[in-house]
Amino acid sequence: MIHSTGKTVSVVLLSLMLLVTALGQNGLFAGGSGDEMPIAIQSRLTAAAARKLAITGGETLFSPRELKKFYSRRGFRPAWIGQEGPLPITDSLLSALRKASRHGLQPEDYHLASIEALLSRSKGFFGRKSLSVEESENLELLLTDAFFLYAADLASGKMRGEKRKAHWYLRERVAPDLTEALEEALESGQMQPVLESLAPISPSYIRLRTALLKYREIDRRGGWSVLPADTAGLKKGNRNKRVVLLRKRLQISRDLSYAEDSEGSEDKDLFDDSLEEAVRSFQQRHGLTVDGIVGSGTLESLNVPAARRVRQIEINLERLRWMPDQLGNQLVVINIPEFRLRVLEDEKELMTSRIVVGKHFQNTPVFDSRITHCILNPYWYVPRSIALDEVLPLIRQYPEYFNWEKMKVLAGSKVIPPWEVNWEKVSASNFKYQLRQDPGLKNPLGRIKFVFPNSFDVYLHDTPDRYLFEWAERSFSHGCIRVEKTTELAVTLLHGKPSREALLSTMESGEMKTIRLPRPVEIQVLYFTAWVDDDGSVQFRRDIYKYDEPLQLAMEKAVHRSGTGKN
């Protein structure tokens, strides 16, 4: 009886082996691991190159140029599919793709669902591959395309081809060779380290990624409750139930630590010193007037949902991926929503200054250039739009306007008497003059102007309207950037030659003088509404030009990509 059972088992095993062989020959396990796979890949990529986009298995291949380059360099041999099906390296790539959210990117943007479905079907009888030749080709190309897409998004940003639409006019970041990156990852057998090396390595990017994890965790736990409207006006000394809600809100965002709050645990409804300090901390982190009082602006910022702060961080991580590599060791950085200028040298801050930027609809542009020289006691050449919209009505109303404002009229390069022009008949269609204001106390450029070539006719300058620097939000200009500490900026950029005393003496004399910098200094005029300071405090600012939401929507619905290589 035992012998008979053994024969039966042997027959069953033999039958199963024959079945497996037959299934393999008939396509169930036919993954195309021989000569047919390279031929099929080459055929597909030739067609893809002709159409620029290729459809495979219901998905779009977005990197046909990079795919063809990569496979041609390896004789069109598959990189992910072996004799027995998908290679272990596919798991390394999948693991990396699933972590894309750590960079504020979406894993599903990288063919993840289709790849996982094909891999699931590849696990057939006895762990052998069960994909058809076409499915194996699809999986192979989707994996490679996913690498190139994710690598390009890390290296240059998801919206790299749409930066102009996002009002971004800085030079391009040098794009890495993604084919070499993939070859390196395949050789090492580790996808994550190679992909991570493509992302920005700046401290700003690393710190903001950490902040993203923190705010995602806050959001995952339910965020914070909306404070009632009558919370506005709360200040130190008040005692009521709204104070308890305010405490909880500031604890969640860690402006008020639980340890500090426990010291006054018996007076949770009292607005005490520790709560006032927490409000001040919150106000400082959000660019508000720091007074410790819950005003309407502070309440509005307190009630921004945690989920929106997460999106704000994701948007600004994308902007950081657009940032070009720094040229030289000295850099002037302006962040428009922060209303602040910094001079950095080897990443250390040499000086900082409050600034005034363009008002909404007269936005200060986002771009980079190099400061070449400064002009002491500059003329102000009135922009045509300002001349027509603002100055012309004053000229018509006040005959002495030119004398009061020390304004000249230029016809070409010649100064002409203002009474030679019939200002009542001047209009946009026949205005052919240039208005120029002499140096002096009324000149809106103040005592000094910093020049850097750009197509926007924007520059840094002094201003006689010093009171504007006391405002928390300072968007008052027509687009140029007014700097509070212009003398200190000049001394820093000129390396003390001439000295501060010599500069001040020339300014007081009224003499117009041009001074070239020892070497041009890079300037970046940026737009960031979220970042992390050196001390670890997460900073948020109001989106004064309304740039964030369009960028967020574009990132969410982006399907078509403008290639993955250099733009």
Is 386 in a helix, a strand, or coil? helix
Residue 546 Ramachandran class (φ > 0 left, ψ -120 to 50 alpha, else beta): left
Active site residue 480: yes
Count of positions (residues) in the chain:
567
Amino acid at 2: I
Q: Rounded to whole angstroms, how far apart are CA atoms 409 and 432?
A: 10
DSSP state of 421: S
Query: Which ranges constitute the DSSP H helices of 157-262?
Result: 178-188, 191-198, 203-220, 241-252, 258-262
Domains contained in the chain, CATH given: 31-199 (no CATH), 229-304 (1.10.101.10), 326-378+443-528 (2.40.440.10), 379-438 (no CATH)
Which pLDDT value is given to residue 149? 96
Q: Rounded to whole angstroms, how far apart are CA atoms 278 and 259?
A: 13
Q: Would the pLDDT of 125 be above 60?
A: no
**380 band by pLDDT with thresholds 50, 70 and 90:** very high
**265 band by pLDDT with thresholds 50, 70 and 90:** low
Active site residue 461: yes
- Residue 52 tokens read as 């620029």
Nearest to 368 by CA among 454, 277, 297: 454
**Cβ atoms within 10 Å, residue 320:** 21
**Do residues 287 and 496 make contact, with C-beta atoms less than 8 angstroms apart?**
no
Which pLDDT value is given to residue 34? 58
Mean pLDDT for all residues in the chain: 89
Q: Rounded to whole angstroms, how far apart are CA atoms 233 and 115?
A: 55
- Residue 138 tokens read as 């699809």
DSSP state of 157: -
Which among 461, 478, 495, 560 is annotated as catalytic? 461
- Residue 194 tokens read as 């190679």
Average confidence (pLDDT) over 500-506: 96
Q: Would the pLDDT of 26 be above 90?
A: no
Question: Roughly what angle, to the nearest 10 degrees, separates helices 133-156 and 89-98?
Answer: 50
Which among 167, 373, 480, 495 is annotated as catalytic? 480
pLDDT 10s digits, 211-223: 999 999 999 999 9
Which pLDDT value is given to residue 53? 64
Which pLDDT value is given to residue 1? 42
Q: What residue ranges in 242-328 does DSSP mark as E strands?
A: none
DSSP state of 387: I
Q: Rounded to whole angstroms, how far apart are CA atoms 396 and 567?
A: 51
Which pLDDT value is given to residue 8? 44
**Do residues 475 and 356 make contact, with C-beta atoms less than 8 angstroms apart?**
yes
> What angle (nearest 5°) sits at the alpha carbon of residue 430, between those of residues 428 and 435?
75
Is 103 in a helix, a strand, or coil? helix
Burial 466-484 (b: 16+ CB within 10 A, else e): eeebeeebbbebbbbbbbb
Average confidence (pLDDT) over 161-183: 92
Q: Does 191 or 20 have the greater pLDDT score? A: 191
**Cβ atoms within 10 Å, residue 3:** 7
Q: Rounded to whole angstroms, how far apart are CA atoms 477 and 440?
A: 19
Which pLDDT value is given to residue 27? 39
Which pLDDT value is given to residue 297? 97
Q: Rounded to whole angstroms, how far apart are CA atoms 30 and 23?
A: 8
**Do residues 150 and 45 make contact, with C-beta atoms less than 8 angstroms apart?**
no
For the ranges 35-49, 84-98, 408-422, 499-513, the lowest mean pLDDT is seen at 35-49
> What angle (nearest 5°) sits at the alpha carbon of residue 406, between those of residues 448 and 446?
15
Average confidence (pLDDT) over 472-476: 96
Q: Rounded to whole angstroms, how far apart are CA atoms 248 and 253?
A: 9
pLDDT 10s digits, 308-325: 999 999 999 999 999 998
- Tokens 């733009």 locate to 567
**Do residues 45 and 67 make contact, with C-beta atoms less than 8 angstroms apart?**
yes
Name residue 538's beta-bridge partners. 532
Average confidence (pLDDT) over 407-429: 94
Is 393 in a helix, a strand, or coil? helix
